[in-house]
Amino acid sequence: MGRVSAVRRYNIYGRAVLYSVAVALFTISPIAAARDDAGVIQTVAPLFASHSPLLVTIEAPLTTLMEERPKEEYLNGTLSFSANDGTKHTLDLKIRTRGKFRWKKKHCDFAPIRLNLRKKQVVDTEFSGQDKLKLVTHCKNKNSKYEQFVLREYLAYRFLNVMTDTSFHVRLLQINYIDTEGAKPMTKVGFLIEDDDDVAERNSLHVIKTGDISYDDIDPKAQNFVNVFQYMIRNTEFSLVNAEPGEFCCHNIDLLSATKGVPFTPLPYDFDFSGMVNAPYAAPNPRLEIQDVRQRLFRGLCANNELLPDTLKRFIDNRDAIFGVVDNLELLSSRSRRDVTRDLNLFYARISQAKSVDASFIKRCNDSL
């Protein structure tokens, strides 16, 4: 029998605002184990226990989905895949579009997707314990280089995974899209992102939903780590403290907490505007002092400079694991592999020399943001 545990979302005042139930232990094949930042052994859901691409087929009215781009109403479809033992599974699927920038037709032919699975059907499958999942898609149907942008963004999530378990697990997919309305089938790369409730549960934390916060509300070590990580991948499209209009805090950052209040741990996501991905549509925030997303800009606070040596050591200690993620991603093109490797080499050269650390971090920090 599996163990059922409750996950609650809390606002800044500690009041529960959403209740959901998630299966924590399953009766299917062994679940991979991982240690969190405190050394506690965690269980990893079957879907995210492997980094091998999973071949799936999504069959749905894709023409209507991409023409109408519903964000509330789900369309009906199926999700098919084969288990490791060769058993074939076909699951009922509800599907809709999601996102903001990539949701717009002027930017992407194919919008990001939200998958909604039936809990009773996923038991004892690769998708055990999963319900609603975000799917990162390829954006342009007729330009294969956009699949490389998907893979580069996938790498950013995987870099976080090797440095901290307080991060979104991801699973790479090779997806056969079959349009029940008659459009030509296509096979594209994509990846699934773990639900934030599951990230919280793995780390014995709570998801926090609130408006704008202050930097004093965020754990200093965690914010310093996130700022250096964003610098590594050349990303400035995020805010640790400000929410977008009508949404919860923060921009491309979720908030987790052990206490249902401060201090918060930032949980970053959505890296397609980073210079490491270097998507054609990406542009820097006009309020920042950079002209191109390929430029690095450290957005950390000067008040946290004393934490920099330990923060940078954390990246140095994980250098081999990070390069290993790149080496092991076979679907990367030679150009993507070369570009990402060069990016990482430049970053590591910069954080390994006191002079460049002083010039790029200490002297570029912010008194306030």
- Indicate the pTM of the whole model: 0.90
Percent of the chain surpassing pLDDT 90: 83
Arithmetic mean of pLDDT, 358-368: 92
Whether the predicted pLDDT of 238 surpasses 80: yes
Length in residues, the chain: 369
d(CA 263, CA 83): 41
Strands 206-208 and 4-10: parallel
Give the closest residue to 189 by CA, choosing from 236, 242, 136.
136
Q: Do 246 and 209 contact (CB within 8 A), yes or no?
A: no
User: Treating both helix axes as pointing N-terminal to C-terminal, what angle do 308-317 and 319-328 enclose, rounded to 10 degrees?
Assistant: 40
Arithmetic mean of pLDDT, 134-163: 98
Tell me which of 18 and 95 has the higher pLDDT.
95
Handedness of CA 218, 219, 221, 226 (dihedral sign): negative
Tokens of 369: 């943001």
Q: In this predicted structure, what is the pLDDT of residue 43? A: 77
d(CA 6, CA 19): 7
Whether the predicted pLDDT of 151 surpasses 80: yes
d(CA 263, CA 301): 16
Arithmetic mean of pLDDT, 321-349: 98
Whether the predicted pLDDT of 111 surpasses 90: yes
Arithmetic mean of pLDDT, 113-123: 96
Residue 294, exposed/middle/buried by CB under 10 A (0-12, 13-18, 19+)? Answer: middle
Whether the predicted pLDDT of 15 surpasses 60: no
Determine the distance from the C-alpha atom of residue 282 to the mean position of all C-alpha atoms in its chain, rounded to a whole number: 17
pLDDT-based confidence at residue 37 (cuts at 50, 70, 90): low
Identify the DSSP state of 59.
Answer: E
d(CA 123, CA 366): 49
Identify the DSSP state of 61.
Answer: -
Arithmetic mean of pLDDT, 88-105: 97
pLDDT-based confidence at residue 85 (cuts at 50, 70, 90): confident
Whether the predicted pLDDT of 39 surpasses 60: no
